[in-house]
Amino acid sequence: MLSLLKTLQKSSEILGINHRNTVYVRPYNSLNAKEIADDKILCKKILSRHGIPTAEIFKVVRNHKQLNTIKWEDLPHSFALKPNIGTGGSGIIIFYGKKKNSLEWIMPDGNTMTATQIRNHISKILDGQFSMGNRKDTAIIEERIINHPLLKQYSYKGIPDIRVIVFNKVPIMAELRLPTYESGGKANLHAGGVGVGIDIATGITTTAIHRKGASILDDVYDIIETTLDESKLPLRGIQIPQWKEILRIALKCQEATGLGYLGADIALDRYKGPIVFELNARSGLAIQIANLSGMRSRMERVKGLKIKSVDHGIRLAQNLFGGQVENEIEAISGRDIIGLVEKIQIHPPAVEGKPATPSPATKKQNPSTTPCKAQIDTGIMRSKISTLMAQRAGYKQMLEYFRSLDIPKDFESREDAREYLKEMLPKITEHWLIIDAIITGESGTIRIRPIVSVTMDIAGTTIIAQMAVSSRKDLPYSIILGKRDLKPFLLDASKTFSLH
C-alpha cells in the first residue's frame, strides 16, 4: 500500500498524455499555432521570416495535374520526399543518390525507386494516405540534410535529429534521435530509432533507449548502452556540437510560431549547422524515459516565470535542469582516478563512410593503437594533440588536407580570424575527420586549428575526445587533456600513471 502511494506521488513528477493534453496542449497551443506546426510548408515560411534555418524546398506537388508535369530528369541526386501534413514520419522517403544514366534513386536500405514508383508514392500522399484524418495532402520535395560527421558515426543512414521540448521560452528537455537499420533510416522512436537523453546544461548524452521488440503495450523501451549495429559505439557521453545554438533555435521557434508547448526537431547539417526539421504541437513523452526524468515537475517550475530573452531561458534551464551527466557518472560506480600524467592508447581514426571502432580498453596493448603519454590539465577546457602525434596516430591525410587549404598562419586580429573562419569552415570540415575549427593564440600568433575526434583508452576507460591539432614542439607532452574530456575521471595530483 505504501509502495503504491509512493508510486502515485512520484507519478506527479512525470508528464502523462492526459496531463499533457489537458494542461498544456489545449490551453497553450492555439488552433492557429497548431496549424502552423502541422503544415510543413506554412511552418517553413514562418520560420524563414524569423531568420530560422530550415531545409530548402525544391518542389511542391499539390495535385495530380502538377504531378503529371514533373520533369524527373531535373530532380536532384538526393532529396527528401514528404507529406505536408503527415504524422509520425509516415510517408517520408529519403533518397541518397541516383543511379547513373537512369531515373532511379537510392534509398537508405540500398534499394532503389524508379520515377514511376516515386510518382505512385506522391499520388498516395496527395490522396491523403499518410495525412492526419486521411485528408487530401500536398507532397514536398526538399533538400536532403547532409549528416554532421560526429552524429553520422552513430546513425544507420538517415538523418539523426535533436528534439528539444520548449515551454514558456525555456528548454525543458532534449533528446538525440538516431536512425537505425530497423527504422529504415528514420529517427522516430516508434519506427525503431534510438533515443538518447541529453543533459541540458552541457549537451552531453546520457541514457539511450530503444523500443522493446514484442510487447503487449505500445511505447515501451529498453535501456541500451551502445549503437545497435556492429560497431557498438557507446551512446553515453557524446558531446552534441553547437549545443547552445540548437537551444537558441528551439526557443526562437517558439517565439515565431506562438506554440506554448513545443517539440522542435532540429537536425545538424554538416555545412549549414542546425536546421529545423519539423515542429510538433503534441510532442511524444518517451523523451522522459531517455532522460530518466519527468517533464511535469520541470514545466511546473518554469510556469508563470517571466523570461526576458532567449539566453535568459537557456541559462535558467541549464541551472535548473542541468547536471544529469555528473550525477549519473558518480552514481554508476565512482569515477576512475587518474594522475597528472597518464599513459594512453590512441585508436586509429575512422575510415570515411564507416564509424570508428574503439576496442574495449584492456591491460594488453592493442597493436593497432598508438601509445603515448598525456598531460592532464584541468585549467584548460579544450584538449590538444600535437601535429606530430596526430600524424603518428593516423591523421596524416587529414593534416595534408588541412595544409592544402593554405590558411594564413598568422592573423592580424581575432576578428579577422573569425571572419575568415566563418567563410572557410564548410571547406575545412569537408574532410570527414575534421569536425570543427578553433581560433588559438600561440605565442602571440593568432591561428586557426582543426578539431578532430580522437578515440583513446585512458585508465581503463575509452573516451572520445574532441581535440585541437596544434604544434606543441617545445612542450614535454604531445597530448594535453582538458576539462571537457575529464568528466569520467577524478584527478589525484600525487599519482603519475594509473595501473591499467
Partner 1 sequence: MPDITTWLMERGVSGDILLVLTFVPIIVTLTSFSRYITGIKTFGIYASMVLALAYYYMGFIQGFSITILVVISSWIIRNILRKARLHYLSRLAIVYCTISIFVLGFIVAMSYLPTDNPYLDFRNIPFLPLAMIISVTDRFMASYIKKDLMTAGRLTGETLLISLLGWGIMRWEPTNTFLTGNLWIIPVLIIINIMIGQFAGFRWTEFIRFSQVLRNVESPENTTKK
What is the binding site for partner 1 (CB under 8 A)? 6-7, 9-14, 16-19, 22-23, 87-88, 90, 116-117, 119-120, 123-124, 127-130, 134, 190-191, 214, 216-221, 223, 288-289, 292-294, 297, 301, 319-320
Which residue, 44 or 186, has its beta carbon nearer to partner 1?
A: 186
- Identify whether the C-beta of residue 378 lies closer than 8 Å to the C-beta of residue 486: yes
- Name the phi and psi angles at 376, rounded to 5: -100, 120
Residue showing cell 549519473: 328
- Closest approach, Cβ 307 to partner 1, in A, equals 17
Which residue, 119 or 487, has its beta carbon nearer to partner 1?
A: 119
- Closest approach, Cβ 428 to partner 1, in A, equals 39
- Closest approach, Cβ 91 to partner 1, in A, equals 8
- Which residues are CB-neighbours of 2 under 8 A, at least 6 positions away? none
Which residue, 184 or 482, has its beta carbon nearer to partner 1?
A: 184
Which residue, 12 or 365, has its beta carbon nearer to partner 1?
A: 12
- Closest approach, Cβ 26 to partner 1, in A, equals 10
Which residue, 128 or 348, has its beta carbon nearer to partner 1?
A: 128
Q: How many residues does the chain have?
A: 500
Q: Residue 299 has which C-alpha cell?
A: 514545466
- Closest approach, Cβ 261 to partner 1, in A, equals 14
- Closest approach, Cβ 372 to partner 1, in A, equals 39
Which residue, 167 or 411, has its beta carbon nearer to partner 1?
A: 167
- Closest approach, Cβ 264 to partner 1, in A, equals 22
Q: Which residues pair with 97 in a beta bridge?
A: 106
Which residue, 53 or 323, has its beta carbon nearer to partner 1?
A: 323
